[in-house]
Amino acid sequence: MLHGVILYGSVDDNAEYDARVEIFSDTDSNVFESSFNRLTTTRMEHTYEIMFNKPLPLQSSKQYIVSLQLTGPPTKIGSGGKSDCVNEGVTFHFKNVDGSKTTVEKGQLPGLLFTVMKKKPSSGASVKTKSLR
């Protein structure tokens, strides 16, 4: 389940941003989740969480696009990103999207906030929340 994203904060002192995050499938234009937030950042905090209104169930082997529209002054960016990240037995494969300023190598989104449902042998499921950074 995808709960939200992590994004970088302001380069300067306090700054305000309007952030819209949308998740959709790359095979159609259906928006699965959209979240709008007004975000106030400081130079001291490096990253911020944007949570969705409800968790988004992800399907294995299906591709999704995370779209971030951020309005405000310049922000910090990350570099040295990886195409594949494995966390809690889940592999996330990242690829560049034409027309995007964020690439696999550098960009604005350093992490995803997700949970992995693991079945226990004798009872229901347990939940582990992870941040992929």
Question: d(Cα 55, Cα 31) in Å, to the nearest integer?
Answer: 14
Question: d(Cα 7, Cα 110) in Å, to the nearest integer?
Answer: 6
Structure-token match 């994004």, residue found: 7
Q: What pLDDT digit, counting tens, does each position of 11-70 carry?
A: 888 899 999 998 888 777 777 778 888 999 987 888 999 999 889 888 888 888 888 899
Alpha-carbon 124 to chain mean position: 28
The pTM for the full model equals: 0.80
